[in-house]
């Protein structure tokens, strides 16, 4: 066979390079290969453990990750469609799509399940009333009985009350309930606990609960042009509990320019005279349960006075001290 001369070889290679780089040869296989870009493959675990994202090149297969886990559920595979789960992904399939890919985990309930996996009781202020309980349903989704079950709590164990700590064995498909309730009188912070229902054979399910108690602050915005007729009855009568050491309520006024000489007074109790704080910057006042001037049980009055153009404007704010 006659060998290709150097000029012809150079021309042939130059043509291949040009076809590879320019759109004029877009049907050339070299150009098609050049135009491919790596695609992102994301895994939506649908409440299960996290699965890391992948990168897949054109014509390659997506690497099957380790199966995620989810309490009380059995993993059923990865699907292109979320919710309907009709298109299961074939991990032997070569990926030739031009778009990124998201795969969704399908789960079915199994083992021991709880009606809640997490629950936030919400946020309340310090003097909150008793909270309504959360009812939790335990279901045995196994074919065999569970054996006797125990209910334990970890984390802020003294912040939540359980209605029971044990459940008799549940047959297949049977259910039982218990309640979780935040305790009263908790300190100001977020309380969190994990509740576990389990048997002696590695069958378990968990629930995480949270409850936030916040410091009470009452902000009063007054129109001082009409302060003599101001009606603060909408606030009700604030109550301070002496059993909550250090607990207090703060009143703050937002005062327009032109007013000065703030003065707060609380009627005295016992042998104490009236308690007073005043000054141009004194635009807030904290009722402190530890202040002996007014911490006797019963009704008290806090009076605010401000001055404008040498005229005093006043308003009385009632409050109660209780044990």
Q: How far apart are CA 313 and CA 290, in angstroms?
A: 29
For residue 181, what are the β-bridge partners? Answer: 161
CATH code, domain carrying 79: 2.60.40.4270
Question: For residue 62, what are the domain limits?
Answer: 39-109
Closest CA to 177 of 199, 145, 149: 149
Q: Which of 109, 135, 166 is the last residue of a domain?
A: 109
Sheet containing 134-140: give its strands across. Answer: 112-114, 134-140, 175-182, 160-162
**Contacts of 70 by beta carbon, 8 Å cutoff, 6+ apart:** 45, 46, 47, 48, 49, 107
Strands 239-241, 311-322: pairing is parallel
Q: How far apart are CA 151 and CA 110, in angstroms?
A: 19
**CB of 124 closer than 8 Å to CB of 213:** yes
pLDDT in tens, 257-301: 566 656 777 766 544 555 555 554 555 666 666 666 666 777 777
| Domain shared by 190 and 229, yes or no | no
| Domain shared by 99 and 116, yes or no | no
| Domain shared by 122 and 210, yes or no | yes
| Domain shared by 286 and 246, yes or no | yes
**Contacts of 69 by beta carbon, 8 Å cutoff, 6+ apart:** 48, 49, 75
| Domain shared by 205 and 148, yes or no | yes
CATH code, domain carrying 148: 2.60.40.10
Site of tokens 């968990």: 206
Structural domain tally of the chain?
A: 4
Residue 261 confidence (pLDDT): 58
Q: Which of 214, 240, 261 is the last residue of a domain?
A: 214
**CB of 48 closer than 8 Å to CB of 27:** no
pLDDT in tens, 109-149: 778 889 999 999 998 877 788 999 999 999 998 888 999 99
For residue 209, what are the β-bridge partners? Answer: 119, 193
Q: Which of 109, 129, 149 is the last residue of a domain?
A: 109
pLDDT in tens, 98-108: 889 999 999 88
Residue 229 confidence (pLDDT): 37
């Amino acid at each position: 066979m006659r060998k290709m001369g150097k000029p012809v070889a150079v021309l042939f290679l130059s043509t291949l390079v040009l076809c590879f780089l320019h759109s004029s040869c877009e049907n050339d296989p070299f150009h098609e290969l050049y135009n491919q870009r790596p695609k992102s493959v994301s895994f939506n675990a649908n409440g299960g453990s996290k699965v890391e994202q992948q990168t897949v090149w054109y014509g390659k297969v997506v690497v099957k990750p380790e199966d995620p886990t989810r309490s009380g559920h059995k993993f059923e595979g990865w699907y292109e469609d979320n919710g309907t789960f009709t298109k299961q992904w074939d991990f032997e399939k070569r990926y030739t799509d031009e778009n990124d890919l998201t795969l969704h985990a399908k789960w079915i309930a199994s083992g021991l399940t709880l009606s809640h996996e997490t629950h936030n009781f919400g946020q309340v202020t310090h003097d909150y009333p008793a909270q309504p309980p959360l009812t939790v349903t335990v279901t045995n989704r196994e074919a065999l009985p569970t054996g006797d079950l125990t209910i334990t709590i970890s984390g802020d164990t003294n912040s939540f009350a359980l209605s029971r700590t044990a459940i008799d064995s549940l047959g297949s498909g049977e259910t039982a309930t218990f309640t979780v309730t935040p305790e009263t009188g908790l300190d100001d912070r977020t309380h969190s606990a994990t509740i576990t229902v389990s048997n002696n054979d590695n069958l378990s399910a968990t629930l995480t609960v949270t409850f936030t108690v916040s410091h009470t602050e009452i902000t009063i915005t007054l129109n001082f042009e009409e302060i003599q007729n101001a009606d603060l009855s909408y606030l009700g009568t604030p109550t301070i509990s002496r059993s909550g050491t250090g607990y207090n309520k703060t009143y703050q006024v937002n005062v327009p320019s032109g007013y000065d000489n703030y003065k707060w007074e609380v009627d005295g109790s016992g042998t104490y005279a009236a308690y007073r704080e005043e000054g141009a910057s004194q635009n807030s006042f904290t009722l402190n349960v530890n202040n002996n001037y007014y911490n006797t049980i019963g009704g008290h009055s806090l009076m605010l006075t401000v001055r404008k153009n040498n005229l005093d404007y006043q308003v009385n704010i009632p409050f109660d001290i209780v044990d």
